[in-house]
Amino acid sequence: MTQAIQWDIGDDDHPHEECGVVGVWGSPDAAALTALGLHALQHRGQEAAGIVSLAAQGQFHAHKGRGLVGDNFSNAAVIAGLPGHAALGHNRYATTGETALRNVQPLYADFEFGGFAVAHNGNLTNAHVLKRALVRRGCLFQSTTDSEVFIHLIAISLYSTVMDRLIDALKQVQGAYSLVALHNGALLGARDPLGVRPLVLGKLAAGGFVLSSETCGLDIVGAEFVRDVEPGEIVLIDDSGVRSIRPFARPSSPRFCIFEYIYFARPDSIVEGTPVYDTRKRIGAELARESGVAADVIVPVPDSGVPAAMGYASEAGIPFELGIIRNHYVGRTFIEPTDQIRNLGVKLKHSANRSMIAGKRVVLVDDSIVRGTTSRKIVEMVRQAGATEVHMRISSPPTTHSCFYGIDTPERAKLLAANHDVAEMAKIIGADSLAFISLDGLYRALGRDGRDPAAPAYCDACFTGDYAIPLLDQQDPSERPLPLLQVANR
């Protein structure tokens, strides 16, 4: 008898965010509020979740597990086991393989100054280089996540205060990061000097503060949005309030991740002062202006393509219909993944609404194409439902380069747009036509005149190959000198 195995049907035509972070200070329900915040940020990571809380006398408590937030924190006894006035939490998206429990954040360590926990969203581009140097120095790594580099750099620092040790660590790492950290005296939040990854600050009505990857994490706990944590800033939150520390110079041109607007952020979030939902509708409208085509109906590829499709339909004057219905209750299947079943996998997640498609010229609107396999199956499904023409419109420019700043994208050789022009891509996915929004069009939808190559307003490396932060770990190992770890005493 053949045993059925767990098979992830995946969604390989979209990049995946790696993490969401939440921190709460000054509430007796800190762990429960953190769990709620993680629920709101579930879209940023579905492989594992963890919470660390801080109780009286500096006692830390932790609970971590594989799976969704609800799988791990729906039990009242679990929340009761996380007492205290402060907590931080983390949702993880595993980039490769199984999520080992040792990699589930927040990470925790005992230092001479007491306990310290950290949760990190993003990627360090010199993590491997630093890890080699730290291991040579005698550090023992307990996980394979680059977030543990922070722990060891803090451990070897000879600065006297926790804040100075954290600054010492941040000045040695390169990459994109938003992190929240917790020790006996304070909750800390930090963003990388270019502000690639998001982090916002909110205030609870009953007192206390919240840090979250997105404003939707504030909304769910009733916290008032205060402001974005600025690029290169550290916020220190304790019983006296919020203080700002700026160990890095203010960037002349921050490089916030442009894909947050296109896909990653939840539609009801406000990102860098801009409502995501409105932005996606403007992107769709710009896409219609650039690449309109005669059609009878505009159909989004749910759910991420919905706002852009609405904007496209409004600008084009063509009816918007839900011609594809998404099954929201599909994660993994235990069906034996034969080739035949795997080819049917897309129908577990999407099904054609035949009455809205049959006999019509259809424009499908989606946010991205990565490998192209899912797009091909969706186009085929819409044709089988009776569409006379199928045109695909994408609300991002072609994804031609891999991301090394915290987004899970395949290596460049597996990116469809890196190896084929648009006409070839249209043929591969089986569409009558295919068009992407232009890079300048995307910038216009974000309120810019276009992209300034000398000083881009966003990180758009996945479209341009313009990597604003050095990719030290991507160099040949023989060409990477080990860094001199900073251990100066103050």
Q: So what's the pLDDT on residue 94?
A: 59
CB burial of residue 196 (10 Å; 0-12, 13-18, 19+): buried
pLDDT at 275: 97
Tell me, what's the pLDDT at 101? 85
Mean pLDDT across 104-122: 94
Average pLDDT in the chain? 90
- Residue-level pLDDT at 473: 86
pLDDT in tens, 324-347: 998 877 655 444 556 565 566 666
- Mean pLDDT within 168-185: 96
Distances in Å between the alpha carbon of 488 and those of 6, 63, 155, 156, 479? 50, 35, 13, 10, 26
Per-residue pLDDT, averaged over 447-469, amounts to: 95
DSSP codes joined into one string, 63-111: EEEES-HHHHH-SHHHHHTS-SSEEEEEEE--SSS---GGGPSSEEEEE
**Angle value at C-alpha 95, between 90 and 100, nearest 5 degrees:** 65
Rounded to whole angstroms, the Cα distance separating 350 from 381 reads 9
Percent of the chain residues topping a pLDDT of 90 = 80
CA atoms within 13 A on the CB side of 330: 17
Q: Any idea how long the chain is?
A: 490
pLDDT in tens, 343-389: 666 667 889 999 999 999 999 999 999 999 989 999 999 999 999 99
- For residue 303, name the pLDDT band (cuts at 50, 70, 90): confident
pLDDT at residue 344 in the model: 61
Q: Within a 10 A sphere around the Cβ of 429, how many other Cβ atoms?
A: 23
Average pLDDT, integer, range 401-422: 91
Catalytic site positions: 19
What pLDDT, on a 0 to 100 scale, did the predictor assign at position 475?
77
The answer, yes or no, to whether residue 6 has pLDDT greater than 50, is no
| 3-class SS string, 104-142 | CCCEEEEECCEEEEEEEEEEECCHHHHHHHHHHHCCCCC
What mean pLDDT comes out for the span 211-224? 98
Is the torsion defined by CA of 336, 337, 338, 342 positive or negative?
A: positive
Q: Rounded to whole angstroms, how far apart are CA atoms 98 and 100? A: 6
Average pLDDT estimate for 182-193: 96
Q: Which residues contact 94 (CB under 8 A, 6 or more apart)?
A: 47, 48, 103
Percentage of the chain modeled with pLDDT above 70: 88
Query: Which pLDDT score is estimated for 335?
Result: 46
Residue 342 has what pLDDT?
Answer: 56
pLDDT value at residue 9: 42
Residue pLDDT, tens place only, 227-280: 999 999 999 999 999 999 999 999 989 999 999 999 999 999 999 999 999 999
Q: Which residue has the higher pLDDT, 3 or 264?
A: 264
For 229-267, letters b (16+ CB in 10 Å) and e give bbbbbbbbbeeeebeebebbeeeeebbbbbbbbbbbbbb
pLDDT digits (tens, 9 = 90+) for 39-89: 999 999 999 999 999 998 899 999 999 999 999 999 999 999 999 999 999
Window from 216-220, 291-295, 349-353 with minimum mean pLDDT: 349-353
pLDDT-derived band at 489, boundaries 50, 70, 90: very low
The residue assigned the tokens 């609970």 is 63
In this prediction, residue 57 carries a pLDDT of 85
Assign 17 a pLDDT band (cuts: 50, 70, 90): low
